[in-house]
């Protein structure tokens, strides 16, 4: 074990997504000499940018949830508070086997917060609607032991609510199916609400009411990628050493002094290798990489059975299509798995949703983003992800026309790009939260190393911002006398 305060001065962060950037910031602000190493060239991970037709657009995350003020506060600290923008209040749509419908007002995760919205009858059909309202009279114990969101919704409100309302949201936002989404990870308060109010609708409404009024999300003028940019600027000011283009293949701990060493390889430059050592190590990668790197130093019983998370391909289209000026489907659509004739699972009409995108695109020009990769089709020959980029663009153009109800020909296409996210979304099935808790608890007994990231904190900026700084502060405190 290392001794003496001066030896706990260096820190190495592996992974330069938003979690790694936040961890490095916390360590540097506490006076550590920090190096951050990232495999890819641009830092920011899933909060990044790409350029098409002269527009800088978000390549991954494009908004943040406003249910808590944590992201707003962070943006304030970074000088971006006055750049926060609200999406246009056009509402979104659902694309169901029966056609396109305006989304009804719901509580959370597509779960109705009441049964009063007349659109529900249309969307669920008479029988589906009647089954959903059984939620009001079922005993509160019904669904109370559910492990997944799918099971809870099916028991309380029936299959039709699951298919038509909840699955499109979960599939569009988390790229998974509600049957694979552990309640303890995604919405632990729903079960408490069910116990309290005796109805899932009331629990969903209560959770929604706990959020501030108005839109549930906000963005940044210029895109969420500016958050990564601002964090990188701050890290440079804090003299953090940023190293990108290096893949960490293994970490090693010297038992004589407790220092951690990361063995790196630069895949794009003749396989150049490098070694970086530090007193403190923070692994801010996806689950599989984190368990591979830190697993050798932990008891086997503390290693979660991590599975690869869902992959998603985003197809962005810039179109000269004045027919879209009327924003025919509001800010976009979520697509039911049962819908036929389209393969996309979600579409965002970015120029309708964000005024700053429309202003920068100019008159008659539209930005559409479609997402592909249905849950359950990972590594399957059925998956659209097996298509080449140019095939996905053709499919995207077809799907956009269908979903928006406006024919779109290839001649309207100004530019297109496909971004594939392979590791940014964790798998969060039953047992996930327990596995994460056991892993983190075992890390507490390991000197000088810890893990952050969406797979431990939860998917999305709110979960990551809420978790990372306090976790790193506790980590530094625990290791202050190394």
Site of interaction with ligand FAD (CB under 6 A): 14-20, 37-40, 45-47, 60-65, 247-248, 284-286, 289, 312, 314, 421, 423-425, 453-454, 459-461, 464
**Given the complex with ligand FAD, which of 114 and 277 has the nearer CB atom?**
277
Check residue 86 and report its DSSP letter.
P
Shortest distance, position 477 Cβ to ligand FAD, whole Å: 22
Shortest distance, position 453 Cβ to ligand FAD, whole Å: 4
**Given the complex with ligand FAD, which of 332 and 453 has the nearer CB atom?**
453
Shortest distance, position 224 Cβ to ligand FAD, whole Å: 7
Sheet holding 365-372, edge to edge: 99-102, 93-96, 332-335, 346-349, 365-372, 312-320, 413-421
**Given the complex with ligand FAD, which of 122 and 288 has the nearer CB atom?**
288
Q: How far apart are CA 413 and CA 338, in angstroms?
A: 28
**Given the complex with ligand FAD, which of 20 and 143 has the nearer CB atom?**
20
Rg (C-alpha) for the chain, rounded Å, is 23
Q: Which residue, chain included where needed, has tokens 């020009």?
A: 365
Shortest distance, position 459 Cβ to ligand FAD, whole Å: 4
Torsion region of 365: left, alpha or beta (phi above 0 gives left; psi -120 to 50 gives alpha): beta
Shortest distance, position 334 Cβ to ligand FAD, whole Å: 14
CA 177 to the chain's CA centroid = 15
**Given the complex with ligand FAD, which of 175 and 207 has the nearer CB atom?**
175
Shortest distance, position 232 Cβ to ligand FAD, whole Å: 12
Cα 103 to Cα 22, 111, 118, 232, 374: the distances in Å are 35, 11, 11, 38, 21
**Given the complex with ligand FAD, which of 64 and 260 has the nearer CB atom?**
64
Shortest distance, position 241 Cβ to ligand FAD, whole Å: 14
Question: For residues 195, 197, 201 and 202, what is the CA-based torsion angle, rounded to 10 degrees?
Answer: -130
- Find the angle CA(306)-CA(309)-CA(314) to the nearest 5 degrees: 165
Shortest distance, position 201 Cβ to ligand FAD, whole Å: 26
**Given the complex with ligand FAD, which of 2 and 454 has the nearer CB atom?**
454
**Given the complex with ligand FAD, which of 214 and 407 has the nearer CB atom?**
214
Query: What one-character-per-residue DSSP string does 324-371 give?
Result: GGG-TTTTEEEE-TT--S---SEEEEHHHH-HHHHHHH-TTEEEEEEE
Cα 453 to Cα 233, 283, 458, 461: the distances in Å are 21, 8, 8, 10
Maximal CA-CA distance, the chain: 72
Inter-residue contact 343 to 384 (CB < 8 Å): yes
């Amino acid at each position: 074990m290392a001794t003496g305060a001066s030896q706990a001065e260096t820190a190495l962060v592996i992974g330069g997504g938003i979690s790694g950037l936040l961890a490095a910031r916390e360590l540097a602000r506490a006076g550590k000499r920090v190096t951050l190493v990232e495999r890819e060239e641009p830092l920011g991970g899933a909060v990044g940018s790409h350029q098409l037709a002269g527009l800088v657009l978000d390549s991954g995350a494009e908004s943040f949830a406003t249910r808590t003020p944590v992201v707003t506060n962070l943006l304030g600290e970074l000088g971006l508070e006055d750049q926060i923008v609200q999406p246009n209040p056009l509402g979104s749509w659902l694309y169901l086997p029966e056609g396109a419908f305006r989304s009804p007002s719901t509580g959370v995760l597509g779960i109705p917060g009441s049964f009063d919205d007349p659109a529900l009858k249309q969307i669920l059909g008479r029988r589906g609607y009647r089954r959903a309202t059984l939620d009001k009279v079922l005993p509160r114990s019904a669904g109370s032991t559910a492990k997944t969101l799918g099971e809870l919704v099916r028991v309380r409100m029936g299959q039709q609510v699951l298919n038509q309302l909840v699955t499109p949201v979960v599939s569009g936002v988390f790229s998974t199916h509600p049957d694979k989404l552990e309640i303890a990870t995604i919405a632990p308060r729903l079960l408490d609400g069910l116990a309290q109010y005796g109805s899932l609708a009331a629990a969903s409404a209560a959770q929604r009411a706990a959020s501030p009024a108005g839109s549930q999300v906000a963005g940044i003028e210029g895109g969420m990628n500016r958050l990564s940019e601002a964090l990188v600027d701050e890290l440079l000011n804090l003299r953090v050493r940023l190293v990108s283009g290096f893949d960490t293949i293994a970490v090693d701990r010297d038992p004589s002094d407790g220092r951690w060493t990361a063995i790196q390889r630069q895949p794009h430059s003749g396989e150049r290798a490098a070694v970086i050592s530090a007193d403190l190590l923070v692994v801010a990668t996806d689950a599989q990489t984190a368990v591979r790197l830190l697993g050798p130093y932990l008891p086997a019983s503390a290693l979660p059975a991590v599975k690869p998370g869902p992959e998603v391909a985003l197809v962005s289209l810039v179109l000269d299509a004045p027919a879209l000026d009327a924003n025919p489907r509001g800010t976009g659509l979520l697509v039911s798995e049962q819908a036929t004739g389209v393969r996309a699972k979600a579409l965002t009409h970015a120029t309708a949703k964000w005024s700053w995108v429309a202003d920068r695109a100019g008159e008659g020009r539209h930005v559409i983003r479609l997402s592909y990769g249905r849950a359950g089709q990972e590594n399957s020959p059925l998956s659209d992800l097996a298509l080449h980029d140019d095939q996905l663009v053709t499919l995207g153009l077809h799907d956009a026309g269908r979903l928006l109800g406006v024919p779109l020909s290839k001649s309207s296409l100004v530019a297109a790009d496909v971004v594939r996210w392979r590791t940014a979304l964790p798998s969060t099935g039953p047992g996930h939260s327990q596995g994460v808790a056991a892993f983190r608890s075992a890390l507490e007994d390991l000197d000088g190393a810890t893990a952050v990231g969406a797979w431990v904190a939860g998917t999305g900026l709110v979960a990551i911002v809420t978790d990372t700084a306090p976790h790193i502060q506790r980590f530094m405190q625990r290791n202050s006398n190394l």
